[in-house]
Amino acid sequence: MKLYFLPGACSIGIHALLAELGQPFEIEKAARSGTPEFEAYKQINPKGKVPALIRDDGSLLTEFPVIALYLARTHAARGLIPTDIEGEIRVMEMTEHLVFTVHMQGYTRVRRPEKFAPSESDHAAVKAFGLGIFQAGLDRAERQINGKDWLFDKMTIADFALFYLEHWSVVNGIGSLGPSCQAHHDRLWSKAEIRRAIESEALTSS
């Protein structure tokens, strides 16, 4: 299995999940749009995004929640996705909300306002709107954890989606974490294998 990543991007959530699973995997740096290497990366992943997972049979898997679900299902003994329907849909509901709303509608507006408004004069308003979405998502997670260790009764793939958002907040000073989210972030970040995996991204050449 090989994970395509960009240093510090949302792919850190899948990278952390792979590290937690503890099975061997490879990583390779993808290319950002606008760089000379991007066309070659699009031959591997036509969407041009990360995370992208090349499975052992050589097939490509994209989209964070789908990759996370695949990893959870193929490592079923780890219990990172509930086996009952109600449990599974609640975990997927949270995972998809974190990725497709809190990240893509919130955080992306703050970091890349030009994707939402071509005119620079609109960027401050776009960023403010995005920050509201991002912070509301962090606050929702804070209420859901509410002093527990994880978003649900035990660790699930949703925790790895929340982890990358929390990490972005900590590293880039965007939004703020309540005490439950801060402890949740630190709980995963303090795992040596996760920290080593993510810190290694900065040292990996493409």
Ligand X SMILES: N[C@@H](CCC(=O)N[C@@H](CS)C(=O)NCC(=O)O)C(=O)O
Binding site for ligand X (CB under 6 A): 6, 9-10, 32-33, 49-51, 63-64, 99
Nearer to ligand X, 32 or 73 (CB): 32
Sign of the CA dihedral with 111 first, then 116, 120, and 125 last: negative
Tokens of 189: 């970040």
CB of 83 to ligand X, least distance (A): 24
* Nearest C-alpha neighbor of 91 from the set 24, 177, 169, 157: 157
Nearer to ligand X, 114 or 153 (CB): 114
CB of 86 to ligand X, least distance (A): 24
CB of 115 to ligand X, least distance (A): 9
Nearer to ligand X, 51 or 175 (CB): 51
Between the alpha carbon of residue 184 and those of residues 72, 88, 141, 150, 192, the distances in Å are 20, 21, 10, 7, 15
Q: DSSP string covering 89-134, please? A: HHHHHHHHIIIIIIIIIIIHHHH-GGGT-SSGGGHHHHHHHHHHHH
Nearer to ligand X, 102 or 141 (CB): 102
* Nearest C-alpha neighbor of 156 from the set 7, 9, 13: 13
What angle is formed at CA 72 by the lines to CA 185 and CA 196, rounded to 5 degrees? 45
CB of 75 to ligand X, least distance (A): 19
Nearer to ligand X, 42 or 90 (CB): 42
CB of 55 to ligand X, least distance (A): 16
